[in-house]
Structure 1
Amino acid sequence: MDREIIELGPGWTQCSHYIDKLIKFLEKETDSAFTSEEYMNFYTIVYNMCTQKNPYDFSQQLYQRYRDSFTGYISDKVAPVLLEKNSEAMLHELTLRWENHKLMVRLLSRIFKYLDRYYVSRYNLDYLNDVGLMCFRDIVYEEMKPTMKNAVLSLVLKEREGEQIDRQLVKTVLEIFVEIGLGNMNSYEEDFQKYLLEETSVHYRTKASEWIKEDSCPEYMIKAEKCLELEKDRVNQVQKLEGSGAASASGAEATNLASKQVNSGYLHHSTESRLLECVEDELLAKYEMQLLEKENSGCVALLRDYKKEDLGRMYRLFSRIPKGKEPMAKMLSQHIESEGMAIVKECNERAKAAKLEASTKSKKERRNQESQETVFVKKLIMLHDKYLLYVQECFNNDSLFHKALKDAFENFCDKQVANSTSAELLASFCDNLLKKGSGEKLSGDAIEETFEKVVKLLAYISDKDLYAEFYRKKLSKRLLFDRSANEDHERSMLARLKQQCGAQFTSKMEGMVTDLQLAKDNQARFEQYISTNPEKKPPLDLTVNVLTTGFWPSYPQNDLAVPESMSKSIDIFKEFYDLKTKHRRLKWVFTLGTCQIKGRFGSPKEKRYDLIMNTMQAATLMLFNDEEMLSFAEVRDRLNLPQEDVFRLLHSLSCAKHQLLVKEPSGKTVRSTDQFKLNTMFQDRMSKIRVSLPPLEQEKKKVMDDVDKDRRYAIDAAVVRTMKARKVLKHAELMAEVVTQLNQMFKPDVKMIKKRIEDLITREYLERDPENPQVFKYLA
């Protein structure tokens, strides 16, 4: 059975009836649009009119009349009402009309859906939903957008000034700007956002010009941070109504809580970055240096007064702007450097004052006075701890501020203090920590923590090789003279140095520690050898530390003529050692030896003393077992020592604290014409006495010479290594490569590098290019 043909006139009359009913519902003239039966009837009429065969397919006419329905309704009912209203009242009416319009579009586009499926797709026309929105755009939006924009901006300004506004109203209006763009943001950006950003700049430009004059830096930053928070809050974000939120709920409770979320902001989320950039530019970028340099409240004042919260806020704010952190980091570096230089100056002045006061203070007072290296290093540690905490807590561990800290410390850590380098002072400080009887008693954890801080300071010292040599010298004395307080601490410090500076840095020091352990094992075997061979028992109790020459610092050696009992003991040990190995030669270093001898002094009642002294001192003193008096020359000849060593020995025994010998004529200096005899009247309240031998004055110079020699070898190795890999290289490139390789251990002198290159040319490792003297070639 054929379907009855619906003509265009009667068919559209029925459609108009339903459309008029929908309009009356939107205008609140009736309580409902149409029933389900009416809806289906309306849909069926449209469907039939679109699916009839030509010439009764009215798809084109229905598509046009669908558009005309919206155009007529908006022109007659919507536009006149909106044009009568202004400001906020207009916005309320607009949102109502917009919601009505969207409802009308939604309902009619569903009823005319068949057009979308076939007719629109076939002829590439606008979809029905878009047609409805375009009608509103062309008639209402284009006419009203300046008024809409001004009204919204007025509300935003009110809120910025502290008034309460209807955020939901503003949000709905701005959704019109977004939705009217039909999928793109052009309308929102061109018709609203552009003007919002301009108004924002003007508003905050005015505020900033007032605040910068009236407020301190912290007060200004608090206001700026608050403004940024408020602007961010104006962007459409989800917030929870209840404090506990859905995070603490489960199941149905979580669903209910989630449904109670609201959009607190009203600006489109795409506005956030540009809006905040605008505020940041006006409040922060334009006034950064003024804020940082504000007297009594700028960056330096905050650093000086330990205002961590304000510094943290300053970092957060200036991190938001391009290159905003660089001026802060530069100020931090300059401030740390000024404090560091003040410490250097103070310690130098203290050293001069201490030198002047030394003659007026007793020995006990001088002994109790804290050494200059301890004072200096402690102050550096405190300074580093303070500003490292700033970097960690206030500047979020930012690498830029770590670099600022590093640059500042590098600038003053290499300064000389009391005629000593920082490397020497740091090594001496470590020595005081690790040796027995140090003035300051620290717990194990405190010592480990101090080790960690010392190693951090070492990273800022350019002459790390100088520190290594001083440390090695002091380590050797601690090990050889049993002055090390704790072997675990020694190994812990070496482990930290190895981690910081590499395995090559600590290889010799680790070898020294290992040598001492092997020496103990060797001594145990020697004692076992004696016990199994009683006839080999030495006349003296002998302990020998056999050391590997390559690990230990070089020490002055001599051909000391030791007493017969010592000589026999040495021969017995040598005989034992030769049984173990015949490929190693023992060299006896008497300058490092220690003896404990017994002596009786005092008259008429003698007192027995245990004297602990250097081997050379003991050999000198034992000469007086057989002779009542000896001249300087006789002592020198019998000991077979250089004259300068004999001066030191006799001075330590006759002019120092424990005068075991009497010098004639008396005096505080030793001359080559003096005569010496045993001090039979010597007395001391202690029965066990340590007789010290003053160190050689040139010991420090020797360390510097050794380091200088090692540096020459290091430069030679770096040059040869580089040229071997590259074969041909320009002078500038070779210099840069060598400096880069050596910078980890010391800061090489350019003149020294040039000198070593010339030496290598002389020794035929390199040659200059005949055509270009600035180019070097490697000679295989």
Structure 2
Amino acid sequence: MEEVVTTMTEAFKELCIEGPFNIEKSMSLYNEVYSFCVNDSNRCSIMYSKRCSIMYSMYGDLLKEYIHGTLLQSLRLKLGEFFLKELATRWEHYKDVTRRLSSCFRYLERYYIPQNSIPTLSDVGIDCFNDMVYEQMRAIASPAVISLIGKERDGMKIDRDLVNGVRDIFVELGKGSMDLYEKDFEQPMLDDARDYYSRKASMWISECSCPEFMVKVEESLIREEERGRCYMHPICSTTEKKLVSRVENELLVVHETELLVKEGSGLKSLLRDNKVDDLARMYRLFSRVRDGLKPISIVFKEHVICEGMALVKQAAGDEASKKMENKDHVAEGLLQEAQVLLIGRFIELHDKCLVYVRDCFQNDTLFFRVLKKGFEVFCNKSIAGTSPAESLAVYCDFILKKRGHGLTDDTFEHVVKLFAHFNEKDLFAEFHRKKLARRLLFDKDSDEHEKCLIAKLKQQCGGPFTSKMEGMVKDLTISRDMQKSFEEFIQSNSEANPGIDLTVTVLTTGPWPSYKTCNLNLPPEMLRCVQVFKEFYQSRTKRRRLSWVYSLGTCNIIGHFEPKTMELLVNTFQAAALLLFNSSNRMSYSEIKDQLGLTDEDVNRVLHSLSCAKYKILNKEPDSKNISETDYFSFNSKFTDRMRRIKVPLPQVDERKKVVEGVAKDRRFAVDAAIVRIMKHHKVLGHQQLMSECAEYLGRTFKPDFKLIKKRIEDLMGREYLERDANEHNVYRYIA
């Protein structure tokens, strides 16, 4: 048997190692192996197993002899890239050798190996290479591969196919497991990348500005992603992700804080100098790492608050200087100008920050949230006792009075976006409604712009928020139609002609602000107009009652002065007072008050506007700036002005206090309704949860004071809507 084995061994060497592959000879050797193993007909005998075992051992011995005599000899004394090239070449040749030998020992693969559960011929080949070659050479192979990749990072051109060839050896030697690949190829590559970029990052952070550092980081990440894809084995798809993650950690996570606060070029400087491209690059980079955007959002919020507070301080300083210039009295026009200027600056800042969020931060919800929180800090600060809600209403009034000059949908969009950050939305609604009423009544042809702003407010806050505003606009449309009908009524009924041109605006009480009504004793000319319109209105409806608001009326009257005749645009009160002087040249304060039937407050305002203000249509005795009950008034026949048509303004009554008090009253009702609605849903609820849900529910229109909520809870308990739980003091029960 030994002679047969020796003969077959020499034949195998000749076929598989030293000579070219010969299929006929391979088949002949296969038959020899077969004949040797099944020498007798009893395949289950001990002899059969022994013969197969001899052939199985021969297969391994042949491979070991080849490795020892040929393969190892060629690898010795080679280092670095030369070693890797030789290793790759010898590995390919070794695989060819195992294939040749396996074809001759195929019989063992079919019967003997499965029956005995021993390693396959392929596994034997890999095990031989692993034990005799790889275990000796791994200390050279792995560092050599990593060295090549390191040269590539430094800009040198390397043989990537060689690296991938060696990588495949790690995978194939694992026999289906990636442990060898991960331990001897992937992990050293990851560690080398970490060390390399740790050194680079330390150098860049000290030498480069923030934008320059980020450019280098972005370029490095692009190269590492491409490198990871190139060297990643198809079976192990996580290599690229692991590699890039290591690089991101060293370049971004480790140095983020230092980078953001870098003197002269950090995030605050980029925001201040409007470096959009650099900010976008920063977002792209730090969005790659976990929680990388949070520090950026914090700095962004601080920047927004800092910019906004600077505007607030500037506005406060302007107010103080104006008070100094005006001896502690700021004219209404100057105050409104300051309010308009401040809100305009807020809108500019908001638009600028929105550009950052949209173009630099890719509409990230995190930055929308911090932008909102930042604006809420300074947008809700009162300046010189003026509520931010009032300032925004003044701004809206200012732009809407432009009557289309530069107004677009975008203008109102900017206003509403800023409005979303205001806490006292209900207070704004009341101030805005007051000013909307005056615009609709006195500034004609502005309905379309009013409707546009109302529509955007409705979209932001819902239908109930704008229902009264929409009702006011609708009233004006109906009133215009009624005015046309009134004109037709006059034309068709000559006896009903009032003798003067009359325009009446009929409004419903609900949507409009409440106005003070007074029993003005109208002159005969005006009284005739009122009676004619009443007759017309009663012919159209008998269920509605007219209530005249003379304080909102305007009159155009002709004044015959010695220099020239002039047209005066005055309030109804002013017109009634002036018409008194058609029958009397000189009247006392008491006489005027008695004939007009007005209160002292109203009479003072009227006489001050006609005798002490810009246009002195009446002479006052004695001549002073204040109105007294002992004063006398006469018609100033010598009054003149360069204009032939002048508007004589009536001093406006400051209604801020009234508006604020009205809103406070409405808030009490709103809190009551919210508490009842929440308790009706839950039936039983703890104190803290009720407070929290109530604040959240009301937060859409105003930010409620917790003291107010607590007070309203106590009031509702007193009115037997709620009661405390008998066992738990901080738990409330709804009483159905």
Q: Does 1:743 align with 2:711?
A: no
* 1:186-265 mapped onto 2 (5 Å cutoff): 186-237=179-230
The one-letter amino acid of 2:731's match is V
**Residue 595 (str. 1) matches residue 555 (str. 2):** yes
* CA distances 1:536-567 after superposition (whole Å, capped 9, x unpaired): 23333222222121101111111111122322
Moved more, 371-380 or 63-72: 63-72
Residues 607-633 of structure 1 show CA distances to partners (whole Å, capped at 9, x for unaligned) of 332222211111111112222222111
**Is 1:100 aligned with 2:93?**
yes
Question: How big is each residue's C-alpha offset from its partner over 1:105-149, in whole Å with a ceiling of 9 and x where there is no partner?
Answer: 345545655654555455544443333223222221122112211
User: After superposition, what is the alpha-carbon deviation per residue over 1:93-116, rounded to whole angstroms, capped at 9, x for unaligned?
Assistant: 100011112233345545655654
Using the size of structure 1 for normalisation, the TM-score is: 0.87
Alignment-mate amino acid for residue 670 of structure 1: I
**Residue pairs, 1:573-588, within 5 angstroms:** 573-588=533-548
Contact kept in structure 1, 2:587 and 2:633, CA below 8 Å: yes
Please give the alpha-carbon distance, in whole angstroms, between the structure 2 residues aligned to 1:396 and 1:666.
68
Separation in structure 1 between the aligned mates of residue 504 and residue 176 of structure 2, nearest angstrom: 92
Where in structure 2 are the equivalents of 1:238-637 lying within 5 Å? 269-357=237-325, 371-436=337-402, 442-444=405-407, 447-481=408-442, 483-484=443-444, 486-602=446-562, 607-637=564-594
Coordinate RMSD, CA, aligned: 3.0
In 2, distance between residues paired with 1:190 and 1:644? 94
* Residues 53, 347 of structure 1: alpha-carbon distance in 2 compared, 3 angstrom cutoff: farther
Q: Matched residues, percent identical? A: 46
8 Å contact kept, 1:413–1:422: yes
Q: Could you tell me how far apart the structure 2 residues matched to 1:672 and 1:53 are? A: 146
Letter paired with 1:511: G
Change (3 A) 1:72 1:637: same
Quick one: distance in 2 between partners of 1:670 and 1:82? Answer: 116
Alignment check: 8 A CA contact 2:586 2:632 kept: yes
Moved more, 180-189 or 77-86: 77-86
Equivalent-residue separation in structure 1 for 2:588 and 2:400 (angstroms):
42
Contact 2:722/2:733 (8 A) holds in 1: yes
**Pair 1:638-2:638 in alignment:** no
Q: Report the Cα distance in structure 2 between the residues aligned to 1:526 and 1:623, rounded to whole angstroms.
A: 28
Q: Secondary structure at the match of 1:284?
A: helix
CA contact (8 A) 1:436 1:484 kept: no
Alpha-carbon distance, 1:531 to partner: 3.0
1:126/1:656 CA distance change after superposition, 3 Å:
same
Residues in 2 aligned to 1:104 and 1:130: alpha-carbon distance in whole angstroms: 14
CA–CA distance in structure 1, aligned partners of residues 34 and 465 of structure 2: 90
Name the residue aligned to 1:248. Answer: none
Letter in 1 for 2:18: K
In the TM superposition, residue 20 of structure 1 has moved relative to its aligned partner by 3.0
Shift of 1:703: 1.4
State how far apart, in whole Å, the 2-side matches of 1:41 and 1:434 are. Answer: 103
TM-score by length of 2: 0.92
- C-alpha deviation, 1:169, in angstroms: 1.5
In the superposition, relative to structure 1, how do residues 368 and 779 fare at CA in structure 2: closer, same or farther (>3 Å)? closer
What residue is the counterpart of 1:33 in the other structure? Answer: 21
Q: 1:376-421: per-residue Cα shift (whole Å, max 9, x none)? A: 1221122122222122222222222222211111111111234322
Q: Tell me which amino acid in the other structure corresponds to 2:424.
A: D
What is the distance in 2 between the residues matched to 1:334 and 1:696? 41
The change in CA–CA distance for 1:60 and 1:593 in structure 2 (over 3 A counts) is: farther
TM alignment of 1:98-137, pairs within 5 A: 98-109=91-102, 115-116=108-109, 119-137=112-130
Alignment match, 1:147 = 140
Alpha-carbon separation, structure 1, partners of 2:36 and 2:459: 87
Shift of 1:305: 2.0
Residues of 1 paired with 2:459 and 2:101: CA distance?
77
Query: For 1:86 and 1:335, how far apart are their aligned partners in 2?
Result: 57
Say if 1:110 and 1:619 are closer, same or farther in 2 by CA, change over 3 A.
farther
Q: Is the contact made by 2:232 and 2:239 (CA closer than 8 Å) also made in structure 1?
A: no
Most deviating of 578-587 and 517-526:
578-587
Q: Tell me by how many angstroms 1:11 deviates.
A: 9.5
Q: 2:161 maps to what in 1?
A: 168
- After superposition, the C-alpha distances for 1:656-703 in whole angstroms (9 at most, x for unaligned) are 222221111122221111111222222122222222111102x11111
Range with bigger deviation, 137-146 or 499-508: 137-146
Q: Which amino acid aligns with 1:464?
A: K
- Helix, strand or coil: the match of 2:229? coil
Shift in CA distance, 691/66, structure 1 to aligned 2, threshold 3 Å:
same
C-alpha distance in 1, partners of 2:730/2:369? Answer: 35
Change in CA separation of 1:113 and 1:617 when aligned onto 2, cut-off 3 Å: farther
Change (3 A) 1:412 1:368: closer
Unaligned runs of 5+ in 2: none
Write the letter of the residue equivalent to 1:641: L
Q: How does 1:611-760 map to 2 (within 5 A)?
A: 611-697=568-654, 699-760=655-716
d(CA) in 2 for partners of 1:343, 1:685? 41
Taking the TM superposition and a 5 Å limit, the aligned residue runs for 1:69-80 are 69-80=62-73
Describe the superposition over 1:142-188 as per-residue Cα deviations: whole angstroms up to 9, x where unpaired: 22112211222222333333433322212211111112111121001
SS at match of 2:555: strand
Cα separation, 1, equivalents of 2:116 and 2:488: 111
Q: How far apart, CA to CA, are the structure 1 residues paired with 2:142 and 2:600?
A: 102
CA pair 514-111 structure 1, distance change in 2 beyond 3 A: farther
Q: How many residues align?
A: 729
CA contact (8 A) 1:330 1:404 kept: yes
Deviation at 1:313, TM superposition (A): 2.5
* Cα distance in 2, alignment partners of residues 597 and 139 from structure 1: 118
SS of 2:666's partner is helix
Letter in 2 for 1:55: N
Aligned partners of 1:671 and 1:387: how far apart in 2? 55
Q: Work out the CA distance in 1 between the residues paired with 2:541 and 2:722.
A: 42
Q: Is the 8 A contact 1:204 1:283 kept in 2?
A: yes
The amino acid that maps onto 1:66 is Y
Give the deviation of 1:468 after TM superposition: 1.1
